[in-house]
Amino acid sequence: MSGTIGGAWLAAEGLEDTLTEDLRRRGVTIERWHGQLALSSHPAVYSPWALDIWLEPECVSIASIREAADTLRARQRNWSLYAASCFGRARLVEERLPPVKAAPLVFPTVPPSSPLGAWTLLEPETLLFSARKSSPFPNGAPRFVENRTGPPSRAYLKLWEACTRLGRWPEAGALCYDLGATPGGWTWALASLGARVDAFDRAPLAPAVAAMKTVRFHQASAFGLEPATLEKADWVFSDIIAYPQRLLRLAQRWIETGQTRNMVLTVKFQGETDHETVSAFEAIPGGALAHLAHNKHELTFFWSDTAAKESVSPLPGWNGRDQPGSD
């Protein structure tokens, strides 16, 4: 590509076409791919399909490994490498940079607050970097100390990432509804926080999850519930398999009845991406979508009544509502 690189978006593996179409709908044309990093002369805009967005990319020529490292260190301390080519040379540059502590997170924990930039080598003598990016994690992917004995599935990692991205989670005693809970990965994660969990599904929970002392199981369809007949929840969660339009109606019903203070739902796409439904979710006041590292062909929908009242995003950090150069 010729000219200045205005924005860079990191796509999850296999979702490059989805990100391309989403950005096209937002007025952005991708002019070059560097591995899974989409480059454009257009300034950075938010796309929920990007794992990470480089907000202020700069492209410079470098004559040596030392010059590349010195260029980055002159800007700030912490940098994460996205390696798509020139692997050996990139590792030599990385060795000259201060180490970034990226130990697995012990959930629950808030995201790192120290500024973290991203960089890559487009060519052996071309350095692309951005001191600001949308995710506080290297390449948008947090790692956790996993629990390999308690949960009945690995789906709990998706909930852990969602709460970490949100920067908050249910407190002990909070009332949570888990819609479409079976086999119980999310129910297990919520009950492990000390939350009261009402789990709804037609199929039974894994016995060990059902036996947790703060869990109550209800054999019922998530879509057959009448929110107005239930106690107001602090949180509604769902990782249910459903068509996006049906899940949209479910979210709207819970929000319209005012029967929850917070909501975290997985929006799962089967086959082609339903971009119109993505737009409909984004139009909900107080809501936001994001693609998590533990999502597949999915987005996670976040909503809170506080964000709706204040007309802001429920997600902290850059979300496209401010300009990349602003605080």
DSSP letter string, 55-96: SSEEEEE-SSHHHHHHHHHHH-S-EEE--SS-HHHHHHHHHT
The domain that holds 219 is classified in CATH as 3.40.50.150
Q: Please report the pLDDT score of residue 320 as a whole number.
A: 57
Q: Is residue 321 part of a domain?
A: no
| Whether residue 173 sits in one domain with residue 93 | no
| Whether residue 97 sits in one domain with residue 176 | no
Q: Please report the pLDDT score of residue 326 as a whole number.
A: 41
Task: Encode pLDDT of 195-251 as tens digits.
Answer: 999 999 999 999 999 999 999 999 999 999 999 999 999 999 999 999 999 999 999
Q: Is residue 172 part of a domain?
A: yes
Residues of the chain with pLDDT under 70: 1-3, 319-327
Q: What is the dihedral of CA 55, 58, 294, 298, to 10 degrees?
A: 60
State the burial class of residue 327 (Cβ atoms within 10 Å of its Cβ: 0-12, 13-18, 19+).
exposed
Domain end point (choices 77, 111, 140): 140
| Whether residue 176 sits in one domain with residue 306 | yes
Q: Is residue 327 part of a domain?
A: no
And the tokens for 319? 């979300």
Question: Which residues are identified as catalytic?
Answer: 268
| Whether residue 226 sits in one domain with residue 116 | no
Question: How many Å apart are CA 265 and CA 275, to the nearest integer?
Answer: 17
Q: Is residue 320 part of a domain?
A: no
Q: Is residue 315 part of a domain?
A: no
- Pair 84, 151: CB distance under 8 Å: no
- Picking from 246, 266, 312, 264, the residue whose alpha carbon sits closest to that of residue 285 is 312
| Whether residue 173 sits in one domain with residue 301 | yes
Strand order, beta sheet including 117-123: 57-61, 126-130, 117-123, 79-81
Question: How many Å apart are CA 137 and CA 56, to the nearest integer?
Answer: 17
The domain that holds 89 is classified in CATH as 3.30.2130
Q: Please report the pLDDT score of residue 102 as a whole number.
A: 75
State the burial class of residue 100 (Cβ atoms within 10 Å of its Cβ: 0-12, 13-18, 19+).
middle
Provide CB contacts within 8 A for 4, sequence distance 6+: 41, 59
Phi/psi at 320 (5° precision): 90, -10
What's the Rg (C-alpha) of the chain?
21
Q: Is residue 94 part of a domain?
A: yes
| Whether residue 301 sits in one domain with residue 235 | yes
Provide CB contacts within 8 A for 124, sequence distance 6+: 86, 89
| Whether residue 273 sits in one domain with residue 170 | yes
Q: For residue 75, what are the domain limits?
A: 7-140
| Whether residue 132 sits in one domain with residue 106 | yes
Q: Is residue 23 part of a domain?
A: yes
Number of domains into which the chain is organized? 2
Q: Is residue 150 part of a domain?
A: no
| Whether residue 267 sits in one domain with residue 176 | yes
Question: How many Å apart are CA 257 and CA 314, to the nearest integer?
Answer: 19
Q: Please report the pLDDT score of residue 239 as a whole number.
A: 98
| Bridge partners of residue 233, in order along the sequence | 260
| Whether residue 180 sits in one domain with residue 118 | no
| Whether residue 284 sits in one domain with residue 189 | yes
| Whether residue 107 sits in one domain with residue 166 | no
- Picking from 173, 76, 64, the residue whose alpha carbon sits closest to that of residue 125 is 64
Token look-up 């998590």 returns: 292
